[in-house]
């Protein structure tokens, strides 16, 4: 087994300029580690990639920029739309758009808005006015072509995240944002900025990114049943959830469920009343236990026995790095391990941890 330690800040010099890649607001996003991932993966020979837990699609976009054909997969609808935008957009089309006019149309008055968000989510995430604006936005989406609609959903979701404390939807805590008290976190100005202003700025920043590489695609499948996947890539990238030091799973469907409603509006009427924050898209995952996570890794190895596999993972996560490597070794994979140092996770209160990238090559591809 080969092991490489990459100095995280210096690793940035090994890759193209990522300054214009979209900012992300998800816990565990690999946006700041793209240069490290690029440096680790560049020495491998592959042309097609399946990003199995794509999340923000930052890494999927990286692989597209590297000239690979990429499929982004995520079990959340909003994340799937994000993948469609970042893998399907071409610079010429984006440059032709008047973002301000597009966004203005999305918030224009219409006589067909329903009131699902206003009625079901009052005082939970956003103000009454903002809830009405979300209802209105969702009603207007029918007026747009698919590519424009996807872009608007992507921009709106990012704006909604910006206006949430900690960028999360797992607590009914609008009062945290509205209280007039001294703060040691957050940005009151950002929270009170209207959706449309955030969207215009985000769209302008996106225009600065030069989209290169082949257009890819996105899908929304739960990895609990890999037989549903028709993909046959020669490289699989996994950035899976994990269990923390308290043996508690990281549940992304709990954190970001609300964004699925702007993709499938009727979901706003299906909030789970068991919880104060009324989640609309809680998903099952084998990663809710360490043993289940290892089962899923092994299932991926069995489903794609000829693909190289790269696993991004937090050094102190569960199942452990050693357990992940043992799963690969049990199937005779050759392993290269890469470590980014001087990297700190956002919102992490513990000691500094490492970010690991394990790349396994199956026996069928070892020369």
When pLDDT is averaged across residues 288-295 and rounded to a whole number, the result is: 95
What is the C-alpha to C-alpha distance for residues 102 and 112, in angstroms, rounded to an integer? 19
What is the C-alpha to C-alpha distance for residues 332 and 250, in angstroms, rounded to an integer? 30
- 361: which strand partners? 334
When pLDDT is averaged across residues 22-46 and rounded to a whole number, the result is: 91
Q: Between these two residues, 223 and 25, which has the higher pLDDT value?
A: 223
When pLDDT is averaged across residues 19-38 and rounded to a whole number, the result is: 89
When pLDDT is averaged across residues 132-153 and rounded to a whole number, the result is: 97
Whole-number mean pLDDT of the chain? 90
167-198: per-residue pLDDT in tens? 999 999 999 999 877 666 668 899 999 999 99
Give the model's confidence band at 341: pLDDT under 50 very low, under 70 low, under 90 confident, else very high.
low
The confidence score (pLDDT) of residue 323 equals 96
When pLDDT is averaged across residues 294-323 and rounded to a whole number, the result is: 95
Can you list the alpha helix ranges (DSSP code H) found in the chain?
Answer: 8-11, 34-41, 58-65, 77-88, 91-96, 99-106, 116-120, 128-140, 146-162, 174-178, 188-192, 195-207, 252-256, 290-303, 321-329
103-115: per-residue pLDDT in tens? 999 999 988 899 9
> Is the model's pLDDT at 153 over the cut of 80?
yes
The confidence score (pLDDT) of residue 180 equals 76
What is the C-alpha to C-alpha distance for residues 222 and 242, in angstroms, rounded to an integer? 16
> Is the model's pLDDT at 58 over the cut of 50?
yes
- Within 10 angstroms of residue 292's Cβ, the number of other Cβ atoms is 16
- Domains of the chain in start order, with CATH, are 1-89+213-249+286-367 (3.40.50.150), 93-210+252-284 (no CATH)
Q: Between these two residues, 315 and 262, which has the higher pLDDT value?
A: 262
């Amino acid at each position: 087994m080969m092991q490489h330690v990459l100095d995280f800040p210096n690793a940035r010099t090994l890759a193209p300029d990522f300054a214009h890649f979209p900012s992300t607001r998800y816990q565990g996003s690999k946006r700041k580690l793209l240069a490290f991932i690029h440096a680790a993966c560049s020495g491998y020979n592959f042309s097609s990639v399946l990003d199995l837990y794509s999340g923000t699609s930052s890494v999927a976009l990286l692989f597209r920029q590297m000239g690979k054909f990429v499929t982004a997969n995520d079990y959340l609808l909003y994340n799937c739309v994000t993948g469609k935008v970042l893998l399907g957009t071409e610079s010429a089309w984006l440059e032709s758009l008047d973002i301000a006019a597009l966004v203005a149309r999305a918030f224009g008055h219409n006589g067909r808005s329903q009131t699902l968000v206003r009625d079901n989510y009052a005082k939970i995430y956003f103000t009454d006015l903002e809830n009405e604006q979300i209802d209105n936005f969702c009603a207007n989406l029918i007026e747009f072509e698919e590519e424009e609609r996807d872009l608007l959903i992507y921009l709106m979701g990012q704006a909604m995240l910006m206006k949430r404390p900690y960028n999360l939807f797992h607590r009914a805590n609008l009062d945290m944002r509205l209280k007039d008290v001294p703060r040691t976190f957050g940005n009151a100005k950002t929270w009170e900025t209207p959706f449309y202003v955030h969207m215009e700025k985000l769209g302008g920043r996106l225009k600065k990114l030069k989209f290169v590489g082949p257009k890819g695609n996105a899908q929304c499948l739960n990895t609990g049943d890999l037989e549903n996947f028709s993909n046959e890539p020669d490289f699989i990238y996994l950035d899976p959830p994990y269990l923390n030091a308290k043996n508690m799973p990281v549940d992304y469907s709990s954190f970001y469920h609300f964004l699925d409603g702007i993709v499938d509006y009727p979901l706003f009427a299906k909030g789970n009343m068991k919880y104060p924050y009324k989640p609309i898209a809680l998903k099952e995952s084998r990663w809710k236990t360490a043993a289940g996570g290892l089962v899923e890794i092994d299932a991926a190895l069995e489903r794609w026995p000829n693909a190289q596999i790269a696993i991004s993972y937090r050094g102190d996560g569960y199942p452990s790095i050693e357990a992940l490597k043992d799963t690969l070794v049990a199937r005779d994979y050759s392993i290269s391990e890469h470590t980014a140092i001087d990297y700190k996770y956002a919102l992490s209160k513990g000691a500094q941890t490492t970010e690991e990238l394990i790349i396994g090559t199956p026996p069928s591809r070892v020369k």
